Structure 1
C-alpha cells in the first residue's frame, strides 16, 4: 500500500463528528462539521439541506427525524445496542472557480489526489476559471454503543465502507471505496488522524477497491475521497462531484 503526505487542502471537508465514539450506553450526539484539520464550523439540522439522514443498527435502517435548528444536528437519546452506522447525503451545492482565485481549481484537484483529472482537463485545453462544479456530500460516522455490529453499504452514491468494525482493538482497518455500489480500484483516499495534532496521509485502493488505513490507538480518524465526472457539453456546470467521508475514533 502506498502512503503519500498531502498538503493543505484547497477545499473544505464535510464530516459527521460524534461527541463520543464508544460508549456502553447513553445518548448518541453527532455534529455536522465543515472545515479543515478537524476544526471548523458546526451546522444545525436543516431538513432542506439533505436528501437522506439515516442510522442503521444490525442491518435495520431508519430515517433520522430531527428538529429545525438542532445543534448537534443528530441527537438519539435511546440508541439500540451495537454499531451505529449514521449516514448523510446532502442536497447538491455549487463551487465556482473565478478569476479572483485562478489557481483554486488546480489546488482543489491536487489536494484530493485527482491529478489525473487535472492532466486530462489541461490536455483537452479546458479553462480553469469561469467554470463551476455541482457537488454533493456523502458522509458517514461509526459510533459503538455496547457490543456488536459492523459497517455496511448504506446506499450513498459514493461511499466508504469499513470491513467489519474499527473498534476491534486493532490500529488499522480495511476500507472499501464504492461508486454506485461498485468497487473503485486504484483510487485515492485522504486520511486525517487526530491525537495531539492532526496528521494527513493518503492511501490508494487496490484492484478490489480496498485500502488499509493505519492510525494511532486513541486517535480520531477522518477519511475522504472525491469522485468527479465531466458533464455533457452545454450543461450549466462543467463537472459534477460526490464527496465521500467517514469518521470513527476513540
Structure 2
C-alpha cells in the first residue's frame, strides 16, 4: 500500500501530458467494456486515444474534461469520477434503455515543428487546400500551434436498449438516426454530422470497423447536402466514426489568453473532433 500514492500521482502526471502529445496519434473515443449491458449491471468505459481503432487508455483527469455526462432516455446526469480512475467511466447500474455517454475535452495545444506533419494530417482529414490557406495568411511553416478539442459520444444498450440518440449540444457531434441495437440496419445506420447545431454538408466521415477477430478496416464516407450519411454495418462488429472541423484562429486575438496560460505561441489553427462509437448485435 505504501506505493499506491506515488503510482496515482504518476498516472495523473502521465494523463496531463498524454492528451497534448496524442493529437499526433489522431482519434479520441469512448470505449465501453461492453456495448450491451444486462439490466442491473454497472457500465464501465475507457477514454482512448490512438490510431486504427487501437489506442492508449486515459485515466479520469478533471483538468482535461470540459463535460462528461450520461444521457438516459428520461434523465441527464453529470458524471464525476476520482482522479486517476481507469476505466475513466465507472457508472452504477443505469435505467433500462439506450444510454448515451457524452465527453468533451478542454482545449489543448500542439506545436508543429514540421510543415510536412501538419500537411499530412490536414490532407488525411480532408483539407487539401491547407497549404494555400496557410500561405495566404503569411503563417510560418514551422513552430506554429494548433488548438484542439475532442467531442465524443458512445451508444450503450442497457437491457433492451430501447430509445433514440439525440443532439446533446456539443460543439460538433454525430447523431445516430436509428438505434443500432433495436432497429433494422440492413440498409445501414443513418447518421447526422453537426457543428454548432448546424448540419455539415459534404464533410468527410472516417469509419473504423472492428470485426470479431479484432481486425480493423477503414472506409471514408461523405455527408450529403443535408449533412447526413448512411454507414454500412455488419452484425457482431464495433464502429468508430470520426470527423474533424479545421478552422483558422486569429493569433492576435488568441495571444493574450493562450500565451499567458500555455507559455507557447498563440494558436493559428484550431480543430474540433467529433467521434461516435457503437456496436451492432
Q: Under a length normalisation based on structure 2, what TM-score does the superposition of the two structures give?
A: 0.81
Residue equivalent to 2:208? 192
1:74 maps to which of 82, 89, 102: 89
8 Å contact kept, 2:207–2:241:
yes
Residue equivalent to 2:224? 206
Cα distance in 1 for residues equivalent to 2:224 and 2:132: 22
Query: Structure 2: which 5+ runs fail to align?
Result: 1-22, 255-265
Written as runs of structure 1 = structure 2, the 5 A alignment for 1:132-211 is 132-147=145-160, 148-167=162-181, 168-171=183-186, 172-195=188-211, 196=213, 197-211=215-229
Q: Shift in Å at residue 122 of structure 1?
A: 4.4
8 Å contact kept, 1:53–1:64:
yes
Query: Structure 1: which 5+ runs fail to align?
Result: 1-8
1:239 maps to which of 269, 274, 278: 269
Q: Under a length normalisation based on structure 1, what TM-score does the superposition of the two structures give?
A: 0.90
SS in 1 for 2:55: strand
Cα distance in 2 for residues equivalent to 1:144 and 1:68: 27
Aligned residues: 240
1:13 aligns with 2:27: yes
Cα distance in 1 for residues equivalent to 2:130 and 2:116: 15
1:42 maps to which of 46, 50, 57: 57
Q: Which has the higher strand share?
A: 1
Cα distance in 1 for residues equivalent to 2:279 and 2:67: 23
C-alpha distance after superposition, 1:77-116 (max 9, x if no partner): 2111111100101011001110xx4410011111112223
Cα distance in 1 for residues equivalent to 2:65 and 2:37: 28
1:224 maps to which of 242, 252, 255: 242
Q: Shift in Å at residue 10 of structure 1?
A: 5.6
